[in-house]
Amino acid sequence: MSTIQQSAAEKPSVKRDFYHLIINGEKVESSNGGTIKTYNPATGELVANVAKATKEDAENAVQAARQAFDHGKWRKYPVNKRSRVLNKIASIMRSRFNELVELEILDTGKSLSTAQGQVNQAIEDFEFYAGAIVSHGGRVNALPGQFHNYTEKEPVGVCAQIIPWNYPLMMAAWKIAPAIAVGCSIIVKPASLTPLTAIVLGEICLEAGVPAGVVNIVPGSGSEVGNYLVEHELVDKVAFTGSTPIGKNIMARASQTLKRVTLELGGKSPNIVFADCDMEAAVAGSLYGIFYNTGQSCEARSRLYVHEDIYDEFVNKFVEKTKQLRLGNPFDEGTQVGSIIDQNQLDVIDGFVQSAITDGADILAGGKAAVVAGFENGYWYEPTVIANVNHDMKVVKEEIFGPVVVIMKFKDEKEAVKLANDTEFGLGSAIWTKDGARATRVANQIQAGIVMVNCPFSAMPGTPFGGYKQSGFGRELCIETLDLYTETKSIVSYYGSHPLNPLGV
Ligand code: NAP
Ligand code: MG
């Protein structure tokens, strides 16, 4: 049983009761007056009402973004000026750090340290792109004869950016910062469960000097507003982060207008612990790898493979520490694991655990909804460790998106790599070993966009983040992202003294 913490004193709140859409530089209500109620999943309490965008609102946002892109000044600003505005966004975010942290915790139920880390990174993302954009550009190509070729990077145009609920502000920053850095106009559709911080970030963009229409924020239903944006002929690109099934659906529909598409999708990331690891670091890093953000993490290391020589020792330590993880008031500094996003997700998680039990697996820790004193109306699940599993089981094959890890034994490096790659996903992975040659060998063979070696972290500004296989394509958080928000124009010229007359006319 996990240690359950009593709730600590509430902090004074800065949240508002109502949050608007942002369209064409204005804070507006929904065209039909509709609202989304957003709840605090740690307590089940209402946090705020949020204007719920309709198709009409989405149309207005597309028109505003199109107008801003085709006729506005943002993309024509000297790059240093756009860079300064991105830095200004970062500095306003920093000055409102506590507000952003509070809203993120209220909207998601994540723990204080988790929210602080993510808000901090969102700020650094704007600083990173403020720097990166200055040196981003085309190149000169060597051509034979009296020809000259150079390339230019031009913003791709109007982008629809659709984001999930697990990292609401960070995902908004990963999308907004590179897109506006290159001069695109955007329409952001936050997840219905967690719209607050993306809206505040939109307000901050305006305050920092981003012109009207460049950044529009339209929380609303994915199947209605998200779908409308994906199919709209005036939208040039869709950047989507979310589940693999919806990603596939979006790619199919975006193909009708041949939009540029980038997809950051689900995962089932392997975590391989070799016998020569630093045991303490491997246990601590593996715990973080799965239970960070309550396991509601696309790169959660949810398949743990441990060498047979250290299996018993590792598993004992891992299970013991899992049982000590503190669930409790998300605002308490000592809380290590926050709540689950909603009842639906709680049921999904428990369904996976029940399927494992039916399939004959052993539950070594957790295995049921948690009761947290003072937070009985929230959604909580005990950090769960499942052993005696195999690759035919649903709990091993599918993304759970919760605090549940499966553990298996392996006998040698070859088997570890085979098991790690036996998945339709390819987002994260981790290796724990003191043997540098082994780390390099295994990293080279893993089919995943990210490999962490003796390291629990994968995402810092500058590190490419994205998937292989059905975890999607495209990379965020890095220089390469700027290429994915631009078209490359090739200019070929002739500077010879004799006129060219290839047809001899
Ligand atoms: P989701 O259900 O796929 O939803 C993601 C977003 O898509 C939400 O804003 C949703 O709106 C919208 N949407 C739903 N149906 C749509 C449609 N038909 N057309 C257009 N948009 C639509 O994912 P989620 O449950 O929010 O997030 C969890 C998933 O995200 C996991 O699979 C996780 O692995 C993945 N994820 C990946 C990364 C990465 O970088 N690879 C990062 C974070 C999360 P509503 O909220 O209104 O439904
Ligand atoms: Mg919420």
How many angstroms separate the Cα of 8 from the Cα of each of 91, 109, 329, 493?
Answer: 30, 15, 7, 69
Q: Is the same domain home to 256 and 290? A: no
Contacts of 144 (CB under 8 A, 6+ apart): none
Q: Is the same domain home to 336 and 352? A: yes
Q: Is the same domain home to 257 and 332? A: no
CB of 473 within 6 A of ligand 1: the answer is no
Q: Is residue 250 part of a domain?
A: yes
CB of 264 within 6 A of ligand 1: the answer is yes
Question: Residue 38's domain is classified under what CATH number?
Answer: 3.40.605.10
What pLDDT sits at residue 65? 99
In a mutational test of the pocket of ligand 1, which residue from 52, 166, 290 has the highest number of ligand atoms less than 8 Å from its CB?
166
Taking CB atoms within 8 Å and a gap of at least 24, the contacts of 33-41 are: 36/192, 36/195, 36/219, 36/220, 38/107, 38/193, 38/194, 38/195, 38/196, 39/342, 40/106, 40/107, 40/109, 40/378, 41/108, 41/109, 41/339, 41/340, 41/341, 41/342, 41/378, 41/379
pLDDT class for 13, splitting at 50, 70, 90?
Answer: confident
| Helix %, strand %, coil % of the chain (to 5) | 40, 20, 40
In a mutational test of the pocket of ligand 1, which residue from 223, 249, 343, 352 has the highest number of ligand atoms less than 8 Å from its CB?
223
CB of 341 within 6 A of ligand 1: the answer is no
What pLDDT sits at residue 1? 32
Q: Give me the number of domains the chain comprises.
A: 2
Q: Is the same domain home to 303 and 242? A: no
Q: Is the same domain home to 64 and 141? A: yes
What pLDDT sits at residue 10? 53
The answer to whether 490 and 149 have CB atoms below 8 angstroms apart is yes
Which ligand 1 atom sits nearest the alpha carbon of residue 164? Answer: 26
Q: Is the same domain home to 312 and 220? A: no
Q: Is the same domain home to 84 and 194? A: yes
Is residue 4 predicted with pLDDT exceeding 80?
Answer: no
Q: What Rg value do the Cα atoms of the chain yield, rounded? A: 24
Could you give the CA distance from residue 210 to residue 221 in angstroms, rounded to a whole number?
26
| Average pLDDT over every residue of 433-453 | 98
Q: Is residue 462 part of a domain?
A: no
Taking alpha carbons only, the member of 44, 10, 47 closest to residue 200 is 47
Q: Is residue 500 part of a domain?
A: no
pLDDT in tens, 478-496: 999 999 999 999 999 999 9
CB of 401 within 6 A of ligand 1: the answer is yes
Q: Is residue 47 part of a domain?
A: yes
Q: Is the same domain home to 95 and 160? A: yes
User: 102, 124, 127, 264: which is the annotated catalytic residue?
Assistant: 264
| Domain limits for position 348 | 270-453
Question: Residue 411's domain is classified under what CATH number?
Answer: 3.40.309.10
Q: Is the same domain home to 243 and 152? A: yes
pLDDT in tens, 300-324: 999 999 999 999 999 999 999 999 9
How many angstroms separate the Cα of 491 from the Cα of each of 134, 183, 194, 488?
Answer: 21, 20, 44, 10
Q: Is residue 466 part of a domain?
A: no
Residue 460, SS3 per DSSP? coil
pLDDT in tens, 37-92: 999 999 999 999 999 999 999 999 999 999 999 999 999 999 999 999 999 999 99
Which ligand 1 atom sits nearest the alpha carbon of residue 246? Answer: 3
| Average pLDDT over every residue of 432-461 | 98
Q: Which residues of 395-409 are buried (b: 16+ CB within 10 A; e: fewer)?
A: bbebbbbbbbbbbbb
How many angstroms separate the Cα of 148 from the Cα of each of 23, 140, 153?
Answer: 43, 8, 17
Q: Is residue 48 part of a domain?
A: yes
Q: Is residue 159 part of a domain?
A: yes
Q: Is the same domain home to 197 and 314? A: no
The answer to whether residue 264 is catalytic is yes
Could you give the CA distance from residue 232 to residue 234 in angstroms, rounded to a whole number?
6
pLDDT in tens, 82-125: 999 999 999 999 999 999 999 999 999 999 999 999 999 999 99
Could you give the CA distance from residue 324 to residue 320 in angstroms, rounded to a whole number?
7
The answer to whether 398 and 377 have CB atoms below 8 angstroms apart is no
Could you give the CA distance from residue 141 to residue 127 in angstroms, rounded to a whole number?
31
The answer to whether 307 and 442 have CB atoms below 8 angstroms apart is no
Q: Is residue 16 part of a domain?
A: yes
pLDDT class for 362, splitting at 50, 70, 90?
Answer: very high
Could you give the CA distance from residue 281 to residue 202 in angstroms, rounded to a whole number?
39
Q: Is the same domain home to 48 and 168? A: yes
